[in-house]
Amino acid sequence: MTGLDRNSVRRTAVLAGAALIVGLLPLASAGTAAAADPDPVPVDRFEGEVPFASQPAEGLFTWGGDADDPPELTLAERSDAPEGTKVLAGDYDISGYGGFTHDYAADRPGHDWSAHKGIRFWWDGQDNGKKTAFEIKDGGANGEASELWTTSFTDDFTGWKQIEIPFGDFTYRTDYQPVGGIDQVLGLTQMWGYAVTLPVGAPGRFAMDDVELYGKADQSLRASVSTDAAVYPVKEGGTASVKVSVATTGSAPIDEPVTVAYESAGGTAESAKDYTPVKGEITFPAGTESGASRTVRVPTLRDRTAEAAETVPLKLTVTGAKAPAETPQVVIDAHGLPYLDAKLPVKKRVADLLSRMSLAEKAGQMTQAERGAIGAGGDIAAYDLGSLLSGGGSTPTPNTPAAWAKMIDGYQLRAQATRFQIPLIYGVDAVHGHNNLAGATVMPHNIGIGATRDPALAERTGAVTAAEVRATGVPWDFAPCLCVTRDERWGRSYESFGEDPALVESMETVVQGLQGDRSGKDLKDDDRVLATAKHFVGDGGTAYGSSTTGSYTVDQGVTKVSRQELEAVHLAPFQEAVDRGVGTVMPSYSSLDLGDGQGPVKMHARGDMINGVLKDRMGFDGFVISDWNAIDQLPGDYAAHVRTSVNAGVDMMMVPYGYKEFSATLIDEAKAGRVTDRRIDDAVARILAQKFRLGLFEKPYADTGGASAIGSTAHRAVARQAAAESQVLLKNAGSVLPLKKSQKVYVAGSNADDIGNQTGGWTITWQGSSGNITPGTTILQGMRKAGGDVTYSKDASASTDGYDVGVVVVGETPYAEGVGDVGNGNDLELTAADKAAVDKVCAAMKCAVLIVSGRPQLIGDRLGDVDALVASWLPGTEGDGVADVLYGRRAFTGQLPVTWPKSESQLPINVGDTSYDPQFPYGWGLTTLTNVPGGGTASLRALALVAAAAERAGADTVARTAVTKARLLVQQKIGTAVTAASAKPFADADHLLLTGHYADAVAKLTQAYRAG
């Protein structure tokens, strides 16, 4: 029957209600169905019954990578429409990605498609040879929070053609899932609609009609057989129990028998010597309840010989249901080999294991993949993978501690199917707490920790982070960032403790918080993780405009410095980390130009720095992990990327979705002699040593005993203290702060009541986001909990009459590396709305302005109208800590970790610069302590004597106290009248304090006092 014939018949379709239309399909139509097939069920007729709308309403809507990518859609009348009078038509010209979606209404239940074989639609072919992706959505809360299942068809025809897609053809998307995936099972009883992704690269047009469900579901499409695991490790002589289950979509009983024939066959174990062979058949009769199971037992035998692990695949042949995606394997554990003896020294265990490994197994240990790339995890054993990671926002569903532990345990189980059962080392970017995990304790970012000037507190924040991370099964943290930020236009300035290497070094107590003892003896404990010093070296010194990555302006650019400056500023923190026993180091994306004629060279290619300085000169004995796909930025072809980076000293490569290519290429390069066996053995030995130190061979699975403490009151108390100590009081005219509970306080501003803005980037997702993204207390909530009489008007639109004082909380919205660079759609100015709120509130009453940001914001033009000014940084989830200092429960004690500029044109501006005229100098920080010293120059002379005597006697605490008193005295005199003459010696004094030159620090402060 032709398309027009079909059209005339289908126009007789009967409408059954507003949303359900049952079409009458002639037996002779395309895709002939059996007489017993149910009638097709329309999804879209495109006659106007489904509007152009988006969530939560049902509707059609477009989307794309940028403003030009979404297609233009219309319901066009066409005389050749396969069904009805209209079709969905559109034009597109897509450079990134783009398409359209039909989502069902989110405030109603998902639809049940389980009675049907598949979905089909008519497509007006253009014969362009391009693939078009078609996607369906199941589970979750709605169409935009569901699992995505995809397939595609090729437009290699002209005119209308009906495309039929059985549900069995859809595969789970591994490149993107809106909620990180749910259960990776196509649940046809809760469907939310479909989406079409159109071709990219050239303008095009399309037309589509009559999307409908067709055919009768085969039982094999709604019934499946599964095993409770893919891998069954068992000690030699033990018996493995393989549970075989049958389940149906919608949990209905099966209506036809399902048989499962099983047989132990193949594998590396020898039948009758290593195990007793098994063979048989299981039958699940018709009417068996969904979820029913039977157990197959595979006995293993003792031969008392030390040996590697051996596998016994259990082949399953299924009739009447979908078979398991892979063959389950019984694994007889490795035993009796020296590397398994926990009593032996790590060095001997490493040597023994390394001597047994093949080149492919070694290459696998040097490879790290992203969890989202490996699907169910079969490639872990297939490629002998040594490591997995979760990138920012790569989380299990639900995003809970238990789900994290279950997910990682599942991956570790896969590693048990390898010959030597080398456990995975799983890593995350827990840069300010376990920030990927909803409900975790989120600390202030490093910039705020630097503002506390409290090394002991920095260590405690690291310890809390380690405990929460390890309790979810993660033994490795890609933190801390030891960059020395030298230009606040850099989008990851907030990841730095500050602009002074001495300040960064002083905060490296966080390494002990994460790892424990410098010797590494605590790494096996259930509340410690392996730390990572990053990014080696100089990523904080990249010049504005030097980046060649997309639209970035600073990040991944070029650090051009002399060798002297490199040593003094950028390398010094890494020496401190090595001395503290840091377990891993990550090179920077950036390039280094030392003015030696080489020009800029990417750090992942700098063997002189990684091998020469880090490993040889500094004595680093951990392993070097690359940054995300960083080797792709090296010159040459992929083989050159691999050999260059490995030969430069990178031991493990973070190749999230390219792990297969990396492993194969490394093997080829080694076989060709371009990467030596010695280099590979060195890399693998370093990796294995840390796995042994972490105790992963003995305890590969998550110890969740500490999970109950995640986000606990005790942990949040540490974050609350850190938030309080990180607040820097820049101005306090008339002692506006601290507030009194008796005062009526008017609160305004975009960041007063937004936990997402308050926590910043690297929170739940890579770039972070505004809004209620994780449990915590906003600054406004903290003020209310403190007992204040508070009224809130975000935009200051409410009346300002009758208030004693205003608090305006303004600043930045979240961003992370590169995206946050100034010049890449960002600047250092407050938004127009924030400026308006400041202006209105401060004109009406005494006011305090809090700037919640990852870097200084320019506020000099309003400084005269502001009574109190606070650099609130990014305080994390505990807004109570901010309220603590606002209401005087704690005194303001924070100091600027970076220089606060007057204008963007001053940047870069840093302590030690010859020309130095900031708004507020590095180290500045007023206090609300009641015992601020007085006495002028006489007191400074006395303090100088105390500092000098204490320095000679090695009494650091006494000396630091003397310098602090001198600093407070000087600030009290200078007030807001900071000049270049007073700013430079003031900033220099703080650097001298951090380097132990206490007498010189007081001398500099005395100079600042006289200039002020």
Strands annotated E in 51-109: 59-64, 72-77, 86-92, 98-103
| Region label for 387, one of left (φ > 0), alpha (ψ between -120 and 50) or beta (otherwise) | beta
CA dihedral 543, 545, 548, 551 (to 10 degrees): 130
Tokens matching residue 729:
């009081």
Rounded Cα–Cα distance for residues 684 and 366 (Å): 7
Q: How far is CA 949 from CA 38, 968, 986, 998, 1004, in A?
A: 94, 20, 21, 10, 17
CB atoms within 10 A of CB 172: 15
Rounded Cα–Cα distance for residues 922 and 500 (Å): 9
Rounded Cα–Cα distance for residues 651 and 54 (Å): 48
Sign of torsion over alpha carbons 368, 774, 857, 965 = negative
Catalytic site includes residue 144:
no
Rounded Cα–Cα distance for residues 393 and 785 (Å): 31
Rounded Cα–Cα distance for residues 347 and 647 (Å): 23
Rounded Cα–Cα distance for residues 471 and 526 (Å): 7
CB atoms within 10 A of CB 375: 14
Tokens matching residue 264:
């132990």
Rounded Cα–Cα distance for residues 951 and 142 (Å): 65
List the one residue out of 247, 264, 262, 258 whose CA is nearest residue 316. 262
Q: Is residue 620 a contact partner of residue 578, using CB atoms and an 8 Å limit? A: yes
CB atoms within 10 A of CB 62: 18
Rounded Cα–Cα distance for residues 793 and 808 (Å): 10
List the one residue out of 900, 905, 896 whose CA is nearest residue 918. 900
Question: Which residue is catalytic, options 429, 817, 867, 990?
Answer: 817
Rounded Cα–Cα distance for residues 17 and 441 (Å): 51
- Specify the amino acid at residue 946: V
Catalytic site includes residue 951:
no
Question: Which residue is catalytic, options 47, 274, 576, 627?
Answer: 627
Q: Is residue 912 a contact partner of residue 498, using CB atoms and an 8 Å limit? A: no
- R_g of the chain computed on alpha carbons: 32
List the one residue out of 926, 553, 527 whose CA is nearest residue 738. 926
The kind and range of the H/E element at 284 are strand 279-284
Residue labelled with tokens 């004597």? 945
Rounded Cα–Cα distance for residues 388 and 369 (Å): 5
Active-site positions? Answer: 627, 817
